[in-house]
Amino acid sequence: RHRHKEKWAATAPRIPSTRLALHHFDTSYSLHLGALWPSVRAGLLCEQKYGALLNNFAAADHVPEELELLNATDFISEALQKSSGQRGAAVGEVATGCQEGSGEGRTGMQAEMVAQTEMSSPLCTSISSKIKCYTFPRGDITRFRPARPDGLGLLDYYLMDAASLLPVLALDVQPDDFVLDLCAAPGGKTLALLQTGFCGHLAANDVSISRTKRLYQILHSYVPKEVRDTVSVTSYDGRDWDQVKGGTFHKVLVDVPCTTDRHSAMEEDNNIFHRRRTKERQMLPMLQLQLLMAGILAARPGGAVVYSTCSLSPLQNECVVERALDVARAQFNISLHPEDLSHFRTLFQDTFSFFSECQLGELVLPHLTANFGPMYFCKLRRA
């Protein structure tokens, strides 16, 4: 009987990983987010909202009209149009003031105000209008239909968390840029980078062979062969990338492994809060720092690096970036300039819920009416 009890005890169900994750989040994020945490927590535990990234390579001209009939809109072009309209109105108001003013001094001051107003929306000139992603309005929980193939078998759109596009937009890929996606699988951001039409060459790397297979599947389902041929897919340990091709890329995306907060709170499968993965989870900030440093070393002088996670944790977000700035300066004599991305908050406030107190970079918070994210992203310019 004693042995029987021991056996029963050994096979008794353990505390679910999702419950461990939520306990951890309640302890740490309630301190970090304060009064916002109950709302963010509710969002994490509800169905995620998706966006439909339009596939520019597919013959699917009817898709935008189809989506618009469902009341979905391309959140990027809509934000740019609104920003452009507001800027135009502001310039008009200043110009009217110019006409009403008198004397050269007055006109010169007004002209300076016009110039400042025209410069107040940097994203209008730095965002790729070729990336189109349709989302439903705030509070609308309509689901998109599954993607369909065109005549050549290329799928018409890719369903993803729309907030995942923000790091790609922040990277600001320009024509003929050499681009590195250091932790590329499963492939959503890689696909988005290709949608810009600007990558002179794209290196897509992921250490996991199984995840790299998923990346290949995405490329074959969405990208024609002549474009796939411009992409090199590898499975190096990203931490060693600078030993392969250091200092060669104009733009580097470092979308690191993290606690994937939404998945950890909802799914038992492959949950990093499983008791067997405690050490792995505790080592995440170190891994993230090593990957970010490899990305920094892979960028050429003057190049840009965007670091991103799908976690709310400041230990995995701002703290990693701050440590990388120190290590780059002290160990490699590399000076990095964190770029101000607050205009993202202004531009996309109708689509996403942002954390206004993020000290370095930007953070999208899950919210019941706009249930995207979490998504943290920070841009560093190498001197």
Q: Are strands 362-365 and 375-382 parallel, antiparallel or unpaired?
A: antiparallel
Alpha carbon 244 to chain centroid distance?
Answer: 25
Looking at residue 83, its pLDDT comes to 82
pTM: 0.88
User: In CATH, what is the architecture of 38-46+162-382?
Assistant: 3-Layer(aba) Sandwich (3.40)
Residue 170 neighbours by CB distance under 10 Å: 23
- Any residues with CB less than 8 A from the CB of 252 and at least 6 apart, and which? 179, 180, 182, 295, 296, 298, 299, 303, 304, 305, 306
Looking at residue 242, its pLDDT comes to 75
Q: Tell me the average pLDDT of the chain.
A: 88
8 A C-beta contact, residue 350 and residue 24: no
User: Which class for 226: exposed (0-12), middle (13-18), buried (19 or more C-beta within 10 A)?
Assistant: exposed
Looking at residue 310, its pLDDT comes to 97
Looking at residue 210, its pLDDT comes to 87
Looking at residue 109, its pLDDT comes to 47
Residue 260 neighbours by CB distance under 10 Å: 18
Looking at residue 287, its pLDDT comes to 98
Residue ranges per structural domain of the chain: 38-46+162-382
98 is catalytic: no
Residue listed under structure tokens 């943290």 = 376
| 133, 199, 258, 310: the active-site residue | 310
Annotated binding site for S-adenosyl-L-methionine: 183-189, 206, 237, 255
Annotated binding site: 183-189, 206, 237, 255
Closest CA to 233 of 261, 223, 60, 9: 223
CA of 166: how far to CAs of 155, 178, 330, in Å? 22, 19, 30
Looking at residue 87, its pLDDT comes to 61
Dist CA 81 CA 79 (whole Å): 5
Averages of pLDDT over runs of 10 residues in the chain (383 residues) are: 51 80 96 96 96 95 95 95 70 50 47 43 60 96 95 96 97 94 95 92 93 94 94 93 82 97 96 95 97 96 97 98 98 96 94 95 97 98 94
Dist CA 229 CA 285 (whole Å): 34
Dist CA 287 CA 104 (whole Å): 60
Looking at residue 82, its pLDDT comes to 86
Phi, psi of 302 (to 5 degrees): 90, -10
Closest CA to 44 of 25, 30, 31, 27: 25
8 A C-beta contact, residue 307 and residue 290: no
Looking at residue 90, its pLDDT comes to 53
The one-letter amino acid at 371: N
For the chain, the distance separating the N- and C-terminal CA atoms, rounded to the nearest angstrom, is 71
8 A C-beta contact, residue 213 and residue 184: no
